[in-house]
């Protein structure tokens, strides 16, 4: 079966390649297809996104009068420019196409001439040769003119007849083929952030006479001491407010329904608004989930071309379980206790059956609670734009997390209790960044600081089996919780464009320092064990990281693109050696007497790669890439590991209504010597299986195949199908993970029946298989796991009364089925036929009545039904026993997922104003 999948994917790629060559009837002609134009209105600027396929534009000119021209060698327009122009609401009010035998120009007519323009290109990393987006931002800026005693002359808006396109410099080299990201290096691994920008500065503003009419003298207006004024002193404002009322049934049956959302509240509101004066000073904000446990709010004030202040608040609750049972008191603190009488009775119980009966009796009257964690985050930001092209950003934030979550505690190898970890975290962070964004040069520097504080250092909990300490029997246990720590990161990014062969170079350097000096916890709470003194009071842990990343992109000739990169990352654990010369206490039961010390682990990762893209005849593109990755580790089983990664992709768009894409990726991983007993360097032996291979440090062969087809048989119908197969083979691993495969197939269809009705359908099938081998008591065993997931559904949107009454309906059903099969030469094992089996129905309907453009009333119904089955749930008991009723060494609280059948009816009134 696997060989046929390999052959099938290879055949698909070969067929596409043969089809491409067969249709090559002449030299490649550079052509661009404009698929769509989308507009976005943002605070301080408007944005046009041109969805294109094919060649990049020759240049995006500067603003001449009130016109911006975009030049293409050959442009085919698939979008309806007239329809799009009628919908424009920002600085651009009309888009026209002017074509000659040798060129095509898109002309953007602007509402006012005082506009600053920035442009860049976005490509998909997954399919860089398929499509791209040309993004153009239009910023309103101050009028400059003749000054006389705090007064300026404002030029009238030129009329359309006066527009004359002017030649503009070529900027094809400025249009980046990389994803545009805000430069910042704040992650712990110093992940590379890129920025590639290009800007066209506005031309001098000029007044033009009207059609056959002399231009009138401009009015004189007072000039602000700090900012130039346009003379327009009115306020522009808009917004939306809504109020929702709802009635729910079944929402409290399981925390799975409300894990990250709040449905229980009967009312909720939202608000969003924006006010702008003189098209420069702005004040905006909004809040969602007002009256709920999950709430977010954001407010911003400032001048578009000068500065702004931003404040945000986010509140989110994570629910882990409803009605969890516990015998412990003091939940939420650092010390939780059991009733002394219960501990004494259990300790003195003559048999394990008696132990089970005592604990079951106590659990029947146990207290119940809902473990959850509430997160609240405040953030304040200041952005300075007045020094353009220099930008300064300062951001400070504070986050708290409070509550409890399920946790596990153990006293020895045979006794486990489910307890609740207290969460009382505080995180304060600050980020300062400065950036210079010139025409062909970008420089960015970022400093990020974070301080984490855990207000509860340790968790001490009683042992339900003992009231007094004894050798091999502690009465309490203790766990050290997350330690306080600090994080510093300093990063620098630089990008240079306008290099030979339409090239660009981006470099990033980042350094971080992580510090943790938490107090060391004593070996044990068991007073019956003579534990040695700690060798030092605190951890004094230090980790430094460094990152160097260089990327070069080039477009030396029209049909070819090149991208090369080199990345080096070093994780240097500088925590000093701590010698426990007197041994350590194992599971609070006894002193080992074995001298041990810690083994700080460090590693470096080096990656180099080359990507090539070729535009072929017959509307096809070919992508080839190679990457080499080396990982060097210290104090791990494998010191050195190499990955060689090859990838090829082929796209074909010979037919306007059909797009085909196939790709294949192959990875070959080889390792050096595998030292299974590396932990003996610490002075102790963990007794690991000599032939075990951890899958992240094992020889591996990986193959990934993908095929995708997108068809538009008619303008109103879109069909997409995807087939993905992946295989990881660990054939050289005697024990451990041997194989891991997946197959995913999906299909979806969207059909616009008419202007009043649309329908969509989707289906996906997923299968995941893995096999692993182990050894117990000298006998080999294998475990084969498989998961099958089917998901299907659809929806319909109806305009029952155009512009007055709408109806939406969406339904989905998902079914997951998992099982694990065991086999062994020494005998049979019980298989797990139910492993995270789930069934999920979701139905959402909504009816909207528009009284006017400003007022809408919605009525909706939401139904969700969730069924869960797992071998851990079947026959669940808080006090597990064997067939004879003997206690099996666990005390559980019942925090596994629960079924639910929830129904929500809601109504919402929305008011819009402007």
For 639-659, what is each residue's pLDDT tens digit?
999 999 999 999 998 888 999
Reply yes or no on whether the pLDDT at 167 is more than 90: no
Reply yes or no on whether the pLDDT at 566 is more than 50: yes
Percent of the chain with pLDDT over 70: 84
Residue 169, judged by CB atoms within 10 A of its CB (0-12, 13-18, 19+), counts as exposed
Per-residue pLDDT of 878-914, as tens digits, reads 999 999 999 999 999 999 999 999 999 999 999 999 8
* 649, 561 contact by CB (below 8 A): no
Cα–Cα distance for residue pair 105/103, rounded to 1 Å: 7
pLDDT of residue 540: 95
Cα–Cα distance for residue pair 520/515, rounded to 1 Å: 15
- Sign of the torsion angle spanned by Cα atoms 81, 86, 88, 93: positive
Output the CA angle 482-484-486, nearest 5 degrees: 125
* 257, 263 contact by CB (below 8 A): yes
Q: How confident is the model at residue 877 (pLDDT cuts 50, 70, 90)?
A: very high
What is the Cα 119 distance to its own chain's centre?
26
pLDDT of residue 293: 86
Reply yes or no on whether the pLDDT at 623 is more than 80: yes
Q: Quick one: average pLDDT of 143-156?
A: 30
Q: Quick one: average pLDDT of 122-151?
A: 56
Q: How confident is the model at residue 414 (pLDDT cuts 50, 70, 90)?
A: confident
Which of 184-193, 295-304, 679-688 is least confident? 184-193
Would you give the DSSP letter of residue 352? H
Q: How confident is the model at residue 162 (pLDDT cuts 50, 70, 90)?
A: very low
Q: Is 679 helix (H, G, I), strand (E, B) or coil?
A: helix
Per-residue pLDDT of 702-725, as tens digits, reads 999 999 999 999 989 999 999 999
Listed in sequence order, the residues at least 6 apart from 354 whose beta carbon sits closer than 8 Å to its beta carbon are none
Output the CA angle 95-101-106, nearest 5 degrees: 15
Q: Is 21 helix (H, G, I), strand (E, B) or coil?
A: helix
Question: How high is the mean pLDDT of the chain?
Answer: 84
Task: Indicate the pairing of strand 890-891 with strand 415-437.
Answer: parallel
In this structure, the number of other CB atoms found within 10 A of the CB of residue 467 comes to 19
330: left (phi over 0), alpha (psi -120 to 50) or beta: left
Listed in sequence order, the residues at least 6 apart from 326 whose beta carbon sits closer than 8 Å to its beta carbon are 366, 367, 368, 369, 418, 419, 420, 893
Per-residue pLDDT of 228-269, as tens digits, reads 333 446 788 899 999 999 999 998 899 999 998 888 789 999
Cα–Cα distance for residue pair 246/252, rounded to 1 Å: 15
In this structure, the number of other CB atoms found within 10 A of the CB of residue 868 comes to 19
pLDDT of residue 229: 37
pLDDT of residue 479: 96
Q: How confident is the model at residue 120 (pLDDT cuts 50, 70, 90)?
A: confident
Reply yes or no on whether the pLDDT at 510 is more than 80: yes
pLDDT of residue 887: 95
Which of 27-41, 325-339, 413-427, 432-446 is least confident? 27-41
pLDDT of residue 776: 85
* 186, 491 contact by CB (below 8 A): yes
pLDDT of residue 543: 98
pLDDT of residue 694: 94
Cα–Cα distance for residue pair 720/73, rounded to 1 Å: 31
Cα–Cα distance for residue pair 379/374, rounded to 1 Å: 17
Task: Single out the residue of 904, 908, 864 nearest to residue 254, CA to CA.
Answer: 864
Cα–Cα distance for residue pair 435/430, rounded to 1 Å: 17
Reply yes or no on whether the pLDDT at 604 is more than 90: yes
pLDDT of residue 30: 53
* 836, 870 contact by CB (below 8 A): yes
Reply yes or no on whether the pLDDT at 45 is more than 80: no
pLDDT of residue 102: 62
pLDDT of residue 166: 30
Cα–Cα distance for residue pair 778/762, rounded to 1 Å: 50
Q: Quick one: average pLDDT of 407-418?
A: 88
Per-residue pLDDT of 717-755, as tens digits, reads 999 999 999 999 999 999 999 999 999 999 999 999 998
Task: Single out the residue of 550, 443, 547, 566 nearest to residue 489, CA to CA.
Answer: 547
Q: Can you state the percent helix, strand and coil of the chain, rounding each to 5?
A: 5, 55, 35
* 632, 671 contact by CB (below 8 A): no
pLDDT of residue 208: 29
Q: How many CA atoms lie within 13 A of 569 on its CB side?
A: 16
pLDDT of residue 113: 63
């Amino acid at each position: 079966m696997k060989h046929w999948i390999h052959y099938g994917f290879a055949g698909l790629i070969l067929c596409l390649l043969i089809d491409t060559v067969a249709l090559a009837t002449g030299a490649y002609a550079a052509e661009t297809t404009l698929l769509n134009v989308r507009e976005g209105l943002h605070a301080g600027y408007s944005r046009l996104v041109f969805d294109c396929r094919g060649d990049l534009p020759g240049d995006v000119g500067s603003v001449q009068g009130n016109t911006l021209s975009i030049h293409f060698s050959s442009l085919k327009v698939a979008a309806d420019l007239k329809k799009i122009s009628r919908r424009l609401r920002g600085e651009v009010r009309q888009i026209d196409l002017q074509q000659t035998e040798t060129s095509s120009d898109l002309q953007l007519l602007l509402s006012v001439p005082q506009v600053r323009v920035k442009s860049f290109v976005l490509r998909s990393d997954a399919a860089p040769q398929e499509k791209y987006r040309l993004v153009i931002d239009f910023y309103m800026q101050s009028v400059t003119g003749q000054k006389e005693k705090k007064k300026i002359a404002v030029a009238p808006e030129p009329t359309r007849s006066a527009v004359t396109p002017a030649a503009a410099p070529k900027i094809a080299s400025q249009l980046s083929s990389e994803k545009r990201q805000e430069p910042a290096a704040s992650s712990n691994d110093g992940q590379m952030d890129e920025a590639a920008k290009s800007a066209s500065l506005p031309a001098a503003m000029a007044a033009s006479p009207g059609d056959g009419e002399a231009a009138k003298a401009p009015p004189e207006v007072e000039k602000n001491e700090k900012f130039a004024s346009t003379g327009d002193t009115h306020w522009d404002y808009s917004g939306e407010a809504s109020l929702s009322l709802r009635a729910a049934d079944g929402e409290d049956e399981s925390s799975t329904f409300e894990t990250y959302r709040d449905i229980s509240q009967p009312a909720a509101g939202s608000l969003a608004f924006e006010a702008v004066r003189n098209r420069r000073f702005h004040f905006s904000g909004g809040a969602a989930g007002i009256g709920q446990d999950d709430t977010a709010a954001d407010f911003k004030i400032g001048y578009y071309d000068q500065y702004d202040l931003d404040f945000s608040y986010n509140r989110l609750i994570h629910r882990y379980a409803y009605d969890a049972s516990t015998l412990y008191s003091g939940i939420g603190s650092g010390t939780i206790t059991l009733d002394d009488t219960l501990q004494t009775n259990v300790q003195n119980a003559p048999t394990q059956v008696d132990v089970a009966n005592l604990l079951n009796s106590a659990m029947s009257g146990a207290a119940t609670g809902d473990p959850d964690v509430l997160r609240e985050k405040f953030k304040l930001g200041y952005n300075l734009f007045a020094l353009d092209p220099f930008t300064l950003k300062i951001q400070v934030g504070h986050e708290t997390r409070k509550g409890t979550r399920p946790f596990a505690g153990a006293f020895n190898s045979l006794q486990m209790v489910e307890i609740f970890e207290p969460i009382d975290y505080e995180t304060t962070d600050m980020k300062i960044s400065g950036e210079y964004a010139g025409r062909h040069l970008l420089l960015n520097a970022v400093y990020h600081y974070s301080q984490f504080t855990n207000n509860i250092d340790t968790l001490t909990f009683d042992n339900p089996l003992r009231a007094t300490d004894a050798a091999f029997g502690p009465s309490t246990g203790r766990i050290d919780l997350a330690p306080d720590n600090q994080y510093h990161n300093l990063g620098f990014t630089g990008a240079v464009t306008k290099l030979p062969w339409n090239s660009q170079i981006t470099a990033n350097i980042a350094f971080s320092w992580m510090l943790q000096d938490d107090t060391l916890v004593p070996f044990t709470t068991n007073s019956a064990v003579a534990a040695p003194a700690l060798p030092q009071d605190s951890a004094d842990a230090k980790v430094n990281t460094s990152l160097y990343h260089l990327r070069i992109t080039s477009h030396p000739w029209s049909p070819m693109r090149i991208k090369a990169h080199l990345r080096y990352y070093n994780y240097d654990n500088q925590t000093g050696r701590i010698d426990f010369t007197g041994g350590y206490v194992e599971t609070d039961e006894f002193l080992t007497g074995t001298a041990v010390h810690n083994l700080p682990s460090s590693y470096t990762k080096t990656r180099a790669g080359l990507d090539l893209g070729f535009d072929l005849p017959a509307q096809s593109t070919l992508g080839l890439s190679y990457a080499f990755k080396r990982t060097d580790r210290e104090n791990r089983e494998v010191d050195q590991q190499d990955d060689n990664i090859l990838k090829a992709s082929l796209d074909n768009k010979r037919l306007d209504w059909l797009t085909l894409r196939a790709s294949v990726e192959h990875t070959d991983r080889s390792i050096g010597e595998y030292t299974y007993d590396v932990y003996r360097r610490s002075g102790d032996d963990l007794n690991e299986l000599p032939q075990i291979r951890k899958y992240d440090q094992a020889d591996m062969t990986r193959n990934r195949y993908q095929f995708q087809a997108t068809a538009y048989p008619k303008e109103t119908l879109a069909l997409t199908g995807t087939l993905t197969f992946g295989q990881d083979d660990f054939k050289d691993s005697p024990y451990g993970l041997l194989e891991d495969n997946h197959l995913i197939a999906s299909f979806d269809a969207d059909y616009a029946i008419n202007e009043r009705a649309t329908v969509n359908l989707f289906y996906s099938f997923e299968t995941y298989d893995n096999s692993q081998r182990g050894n117990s008591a000298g006998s080999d065993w294998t475990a084969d796991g498989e998961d099958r997931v089917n998901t299907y559904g659809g929806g319909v949107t109806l305009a029952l009364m155009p512009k007055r009454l709408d109806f939406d309906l969406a339904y989905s059903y998902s079914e997951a089925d998992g099982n694990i099969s065991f086999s062994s030469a020494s005998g049979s094992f019980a298989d797990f036929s139910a492993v995270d089996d789930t069934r999920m129905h979701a139905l959402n309907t909504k009816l909207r009545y528009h009284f006017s453009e400003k007022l809408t009333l919605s009525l909706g119904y939401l139904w969700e039904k969730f069924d869960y089955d797992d071998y851990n749930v079947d026959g669940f008991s808080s006090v597990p026993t064997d067939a004879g009723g003997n206690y099996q060494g666990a005390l559980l609280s019942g925090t596994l997922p629960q079924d639910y059948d929830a129904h929500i009816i809601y109504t919402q009134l929305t008011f819009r104003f402007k």
